[in-house]
Amino acid sequence: MPGIRIIAGLGNPGEKYRRTRHNIGAVFVEDLAARFGITLAEDSKFKARIGRGEVFGHDVRLVLPTTYMNESGQSLGAVQRFFKLEPAEFLVCYDEVAFPPGVVKLKFDGGHNGHNGIKSVIAGFGNRRDFVRLRIGVGHAGDKSKMISFLTSVDMPRAEVDQVEDALRFDDRVFEELFSGDLQKAMTCLHSSTEQQSE
């Protein structure tokens, strides 16, 4: 498969959402930008903050949609069409309620599993699902009726933030394998470095 050329982080815009569980994907990509000195500038044609730079010797663009989560596909679809990329060249990072904090997994293809951001991305890619996902565990509210508040209205507790940050300090070889197009090696490296088993 092709190597990853775009790393996108999903979230909601505005400071009030920044520390919520739903924004963990966006925060991860912002941290990547800071780590590699990549400036993220707002670009209205993409409805995103976007920056380009070198990550482990590879030319990569980082993208943070400035839409609300459920319209993320407007942004990523525009990026895909403008740069004439395949969905498989995207790594989309987002919160995953199926995993507890501290669990991070890679996945290729599949449905949206109720995640409105991923549902929108699939639509934005012309109903194509063949992109890579970095699923960052944030836990579950325990009651479906409380899920929206759990994800968007409450700041993530410090203890959970620490668990997620520890899990996201995975081996740099994960990125190197993703950029080289070897997803299986990237998955093996990630899941072994975080002492997890692939699904």
Interval 103-136: pLDDT, tens = 999 999 998 988 999 999 999 999 999 999 999 9
- Type of residue found at 101: P
The pLDDT of residue 197 is above 80? no
- Domains in the chain (CATH in brackets) are 6-193 (3.40.50.1470)
Question: Is 22 among the catalytic positions?
Answer: yes
Q: What is the pTM of this model?
A: 0.94
Among residues 22, 112, 115, 140, the one annotated as catalytic is 22
Query: What is the C-alpha to C-alpha distance for residues 8 and 40, in angstroms, rounded to an integer?
Result: 12
- Type of residue found at 143: D
Overall average pLDDT of the 75-97 stretch? 97
The pLDDT of residue 198 is above 50? no
